[in-house]
């Protein structure tokens, strides 16, 4: 860049800070040289002046005074222009700095947050009952987690989820239980979401039960599971070779494991297996039969086939209707919530309970939950290390086409409850986990 070009850019405030300082230094140097040359000129003029006659001296003096006055006027004009340019540049730089500070404080945080999953986004709905107005709030993380939990986290559908924004796409979250059983409380866990990445301080919290906790995993759905279990145990030379994938290998080992539990009131998370795939109606009949035997499993979650091989553990809660999302969302996802009103209403709750017994409604409920999850791309990306492909579109399509077929259920129960369950012909195996 030539010096003339640099001067032009300086006048237009297009130089960098370092280049601006260089030009200003050159201007200062030029002013000093000009002052020096002016002084020398004055000396030369005086010397010439005194070497002439008086008439010529007078004319020369008048011209010199005129030239000096013009030079001073020009010098004052230049200095004033430079100072004005500097003031303008200072105001412009100050304005830019102020704009940057304001953008960082008030603009960047919302912009950054919009790029990532925002769990704190909240929808507040008002409902009226007589003269009283109620407000119901649905946060993004609460809706997403409730749907996610009902689909893939047995016995955790009643947990409360809160999110606190720290700005710039960062949040703190707290997942706390609202229901406890016996002498143990459900585990509270906390964590943070940093620009769409979830970090739980208790990561095991979001781990669902392994597929082989259910007897039917890997078995032929067209035949009863008991005969297949026996066929997969071979005795040779007094040694047993077990080909079953079930957690305990044999039904006898599973029964013995429950017998060895302490005879107290400890609550377990029990993975209960059917002797064969059951229809929706058959599952409800089994639940009614358990109550007749004074067995009252809590937080019952029904495992459902999401494909021909049943490789994915997916299901729905069947003993208490959950207010998963705003009722208006049912327009896009029918029966996503089983309620017809936002906010609690006794009559509406009873209707929702009745829907739990309606196969067509529950099939649609399950399909809508899967489709809703499939549309929550930011949430799924955040949860990818905790889940596999349970929200794949093919699972919703399969259930929509084939209906609900179950290979077992999960519940909270005592040892005594589990022993009574094993006496039923429909139930052939249970895997208990410590519940907390």
Query: Tell me: the pLDDT tens digits for 172-185?
Result: 988 877 666 655 66
Q: pLDDT band for position 407 (50/70/90)?
A: very high
Strands (E), 232-342: 233-236, 239-242, 268-279, 298-304, 314-317
Q: What is the mean pLDDT of residues 114-135?
A: 76
Residues 353 and 243 in one domain: yes
Same domain, 91 and 129: no
Residue 300 confidence (pLDDT) = 94
Average pLDDT over every residue of 77-106: 59
Mean pLDDT of 19-47: 71
Q: In this structure, are 100 and 131 located in the same domain?
A: no
Any residues with CB less than 8 A from the CB of 249 and at least 6 apart, and which?
233, 242
**Cα separation, 289 vs 273, whole angstroms:** 16
- Using 50, 70 and 90 to split pLDDT, how confident is the model at 286? very high
197 plus 233 within the same structural domain? no
Find the angle CA(153)-CA(158)-CA(162) to the nearest 5 degrees: 95
Name the residue with tokens 């953008």.
103
Highest mean pLDDT among 168-172, 193-197, 255-259: 255-259
Together in a domain, 19 and 85:
yes
Tokens for 314?
A: 């997916």
Residue 307 pLDDT > 90, yes or no?
no
For residue 296, what are the domain limits? Answer: 211-434
Q: Which residues contact 223 (CB under 8 A, 6 or more apart)?
A: 276
Q: Which of 64, 89, 115 is the C-terminal boundary of a domain?
A: 115
Residues 81 and 192 in one domain: no
The neighbour count for residue 384, using CB atoms within 10 Å, is: 11
Residues 56, 106: one domain?
A: yes
Per-residue confidence (pLDDT) for residue 343, from 0 to 100: 77
Percent of the chain past pLDDT 70, that is, above it, reads 75
Tell me, yes or no, whether 392 and 246 share the same domain: yes
Q: Looking at the structure, do residues 232 and 364 belong to the same domain, yes or no?
A: yes
Domain end residue (candidates: 206, 224, 241): 206
Do both 191 and 228 map to the same domain? Answer: no
Q: Are strands 314-317 and 122-129 parallel, antiparallel or unpaired?
A: unpaired
Residues 188 and 278 in one domain: no
- Residue 199: its pLDDT value, please? 87
- Binned at pLDDT 50, 70 and 90, residue 385 comes out as confident
Q: Is a pLDDT exceeding 60 seen at residue 155? A: yes
What mean pLDDT is predicted for residues 289-315?
A: 88
- Residue 405: what pLDDT? 95
Q: Domain tally for the chain?
A: 3
DSSP state of 79: H
Average pLDDT, the chain: 81
pLDDT at 381 over 80: yes
User: How does residue 76 score in pLDDT terms, banded at 50, 70 and 90?
Assistant: low
Higher pLDDT, 357 or 389: 357
Asked which of 99, 115, 131 is the last residue of a domain, the reply is 115
Both 81 and 175 in one domain: the answer is: no
């Amino acid at each position: 860049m030539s010096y003339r070009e640099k001067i032009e850019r300086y006048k237009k405030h297009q130089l960098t800070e370092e280049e601006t300082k260089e030009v200003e230094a050159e201007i200062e140097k030029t002013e000093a040289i000009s002052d020096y040359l002016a002084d020398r000129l004055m000396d030369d003029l005086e010397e010439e002046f005194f070497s002439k006659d008086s008439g010529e001296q007078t004319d020369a003096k008048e011209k010199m005074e005129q030239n000096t006055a013009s030079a001073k006027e020009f010098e004052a004009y230049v200095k004033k222009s430079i100072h004005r340019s500097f003031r303008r540049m200072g105001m412009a730089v100050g304005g830019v700095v102020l704009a940057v500070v304001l953008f960082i404080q008030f603009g960047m945080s919302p912009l950054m947050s919009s790029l990532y999953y925002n769990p704190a986004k909240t929808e507040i709905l008002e409902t009226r009952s007589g003269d009283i107005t109620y407000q119901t709030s649905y946060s993004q993380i609460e809706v997403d987690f409730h749907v996610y939990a009902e689909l893939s986290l047995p016995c955790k559908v009643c947990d409360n989820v809160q999110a606190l924004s720290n700005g710039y796409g960062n949040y703190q979250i707290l997942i706390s239980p609202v229901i406890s059983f016996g002498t143990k409380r459900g585990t509270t866990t906390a964590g943070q979401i940093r620009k769409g990445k979830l970090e739980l301080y208790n990561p095991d919290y979001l781990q669902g039960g392994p597929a082989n906790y259910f007897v039917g995993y890997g078995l032929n759905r067209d035949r009863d599971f008991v005969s297949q279990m026996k066929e997969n145990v071979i005795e040779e030379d007094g040694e047993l070779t077990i080909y079953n994938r079930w957690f305990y290998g044999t039904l006898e080992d599973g029964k013995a494991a429950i017998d060895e539990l302490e005879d107290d009131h400890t609550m377990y998370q029990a993975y209960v297996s059917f002797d064969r795939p059951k229809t929706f109606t058959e599952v409800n009949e089994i639940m009614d039969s358990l109550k007749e035997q004074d067995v009252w499993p809590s937080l019952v979650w029904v495992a459902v086939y999401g494909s021909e091989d049943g490789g994915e553990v997916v299901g729905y809660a069947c003993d208490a209707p959950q207010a998963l999302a705003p009722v208006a969302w049912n327009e896009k996802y029918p029966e996503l919530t089983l309620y017809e009103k936002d906010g609690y209403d006794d009559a509406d709750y009873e209707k929702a309970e009745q829907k739990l017994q309606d196969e067509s409604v529950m099939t649609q409920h399950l399909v809508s939950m899967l489709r809703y999850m499939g549309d929550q791309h930011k949430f799924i990306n955040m949860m990818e290390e905790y889940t596999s492909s349970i929200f794949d579109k093919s699972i919703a399509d399969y259930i929509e086409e084939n209906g609900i077929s179950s290979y077992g259920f999960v519940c909270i129960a005592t040892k005594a409850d589990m022993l009574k369950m094993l006496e039923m012909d429909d139930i052939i195996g249970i895997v208990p986990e410590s519940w907390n």
